[in-house]
Amino acid sequence: MALFAILVLAFGAWLMYRLLRPRDDDEAQPTDPRHRTRQRTRQRRKERPSRSKPGKTREMLECRHCGVHAEASTGVRTGGRWYCCREHAEADAG
């Protein structure tokens, strides 16, 4: 019986310690349910490699027809003019 009382007291002390000690941010469970989603998003951003390499720039040109800016590698150059797509090059020529 004395062993049971010691175990109950030890469990009670451990429970009080867990409930009253200050928590780290990672361990804390705030009332906002979106907290976990934000935490996962932050973690994924840290793990994800950068999409663009530093120091590498891409040339952006303005379409003569619609004025949109797009990468030079994706557009069409006709007669010294640059267009974002073939349809705009044909529309401007005709």
Domain count for the chain: 1
In a domain, 70, yes or no: yes
Q: pLDDT tens digits, residue range 24-69?
A: 655 555 566 666 677 777 787 777 766 666 667 788 889 998 999 9
In a domain, 50, yes or no: no
In a domain, 77, yes or no: yes
CA distance 90 to 64: 12
* Percent of the chain scoring above 90 in pLDDT: 20
At 59 the pLDDT is 86
Q: What is the pTM of this model?
A: 0.39
Contact of 54 with 44, CB cutoff 8 Å: no
At 35 the pLDDT is 67
Asked if pLDDT for residue 5 goes beyond 90, the answer is yes
The residue ranking higher by pLDDT, 11 or 45, is 11
In a domain, 4, yes or no: no
